Structure 1
């Protein structure tokens, strides 16, 4: 049974580089304004990125979340339930924060901007006040942290974190979010998921070995 402190130590391949990146983001925010960061990222578009990032961003979608939960049923019911409940909880908290802050997305925030803004052709740019925090980022980080938690080799956490970061960057690259939005989404997901896993996975009823069964006929037959 893992406590919260134990999980923090155990998940260091994910959490340590993530914390270092958070410090870097904090430094950037001290030095540069929201507008400066946005327009710098907006200047970094390139043809391959315009193709790659719209696909990458889908790894933080609800379709991906449901798909991952279903696939984990073939690994173990326990893994699937941990993933599903973590996603539901982090998404709920994230949605409540969106409603609370009512923050405009970049397309709304810069509606009267005279400087040119590049938008990826044929990609819908959202125009509402649900920018903060980023839901796709929260979803991607939740999935990444749970996968690190259930994967025996914790060094895979580096890979999962990289994928989550690419999803977060894709939201800025596509002008759907600001740096503050994706940073907050990642924090919400990481904190909520870490606390939830440490508490829920230690419930006595959930330690029943039967939760380790799966839909895999080979594994069940064994």
Structure 2
């Protein structure tokens, strides 16, 4: 118990340190980063390459990606209500020290559903595409969204860590299940998911969409803050 208490204390100290770096500009950026709607063009280009690379098998891939997100989300919610660890913004001992951006979310925060979902997507899609550049990009995306939850004051670092591990495990299980089905039930249909990946030029397109999206957000937020619209 003493070890657990020490870990929780260190977790709280690290959270307060990371959460202390904020200003109005980055409040807006992190608020937008944590919103699913912000990343719709990014999701769209990933789905586009599912269809382009895997044709009719893309339906199976999308189903398992959806199952990855659903399982990560629902299992993380179950863990929240089982562990009942208060989010930082609801912790009476530190809530006056927490910088919260707009929403507090539900009462409990362990484990982070955002981290579980994003790391589930990272593992599953990076194993599907088998492209180093894409894997690095989607990992950075998952880390950004996870950090935004600490910045927003709604999760401790360990909420993020264990949420990421949960999503990682679920993403891996879903990928392995998909590979089993593809090999044993759809092996005669081409292309084979096991040997088909994202080409360098295609990963460059994904990166370009990501870069364009993030740059646009930064420019728009900068302009709005400059003219005091936010």
Given that residues 89 and 100 in structure 2 are in contact (C-alpha distance below 8 angstroms), is that contact kept between their aligned partners in structure 1?
Answer: no
CA distance in 1 between counterparts of 2:33 and 2:186 reads: 34
- Secondary structure of the corresponding residue to residue 107 of structure 2: coil
Against the structure 1 CA distance between its residues 154 and 108, is the aligned structure 2 distance closer, same or farther, given a 3 Å change threshold? same
Against the structure 1 CA distance between its residues 72 and 176, is the aligned structure 2 distance closer, same or farther, given a 3 Å change threshold? farther
CA distance in 2 between counterparts of 1:119 and 1:90 reads: 25
CA distance in 2 between counterparts of 1:160 and 1:66 reads: 11
The TM-score, its normalising length taken from structure 2, stands at 0.66
**Per-residue deviation, 1:54:** 1.0
Task: After TM superposition, list the pairs within 5 Å mapping 1:30-45 onto structure 2.
Answer: 33-45=10-22
Given that residues 116 and 167 in structure 2 are in contact (C-alpha distance below 8 angstroms), is that contact kept between their aligned partners in structure 1?
Answer: yes
- Secondary structure of the corresponding residue to residue 74 of structure 2: helix
- Tell me which residue corresponds to 2:86: 104
Task: After TM superposition, list the pairs within 5 Å mapping 1:106-145 onto structure 2.
Answer: 106-109=88-91, 111-113=92-94, 116-120=97-101, 123-129=102-108, 131-145=109-123
- Tell me which residue corresponds to 1:14: none
CA distance in 2 between counterparts of 1:192 and 1:168 reads: 17
CA distance in 2 between counterparts of 1:106 and 1:184 reads: 16
Against the structure 1 CA distance between its residues 132 and 156, is the aligned structure 2 distance closer, same or farther, given a 3 Å change threshold? same
The gaps in structure 1 that reach 5 residues or longer are 1-28, 213-222
CA distance in 2 between counterparts of 1:99 and 1:108 reads: 15
1:96-134 per-residue CA deviation (whole Å, 9 max, x = no partner) reads 21221121111111x2448543233xx1222512x0100
Given that residues 89 and 98 in structure 2 are in contact (C-alpha distance below 8 angstroms), is that contact kept between their aligned partners in structure 1?
Answer: no
Given that residues 65 and 87 in structure 1 are in contact (C-alpha distance below 8 angstroms), is that contact kept between their aligned partners in structure 2?
Answer: no
Q: Which moved more, 1:48-57 or 1:203-212?
A: 203-212
- Tell me which residue corresponds to 1:164: 142
The gaps in structure 2 that reach 5 residues or longer are 1-5, 53-57, 193-230
Q: Which has the higher helix share?
A: 2
1:134-157 per-residue CA deviation (whole Å, 9 max, x = no partner) reads 001111111122221221423311
- Tell me which residue corresponds to 1:77: 59
Given that residues 138 and 189 in structure 1 are in contact (C-alpha distance below 8 angstroms), is that contact kept between their aligned partners in structure 2?
Answer: yes
- Tell me which residue corresponds to 1:184: 162
Q: Aligned pair count?
A: 181
CA distance in 1 between counterparts of 2:95 and 2:27 reads: 23
CA distance in 2 between counterparts of 1:159 and 1:84 reads: 20
RMSD: 3.3
- Tell me which residue corresponds to 1:199: 177
The TM-score, its normalising length taken from structure 1, stands at 0.68
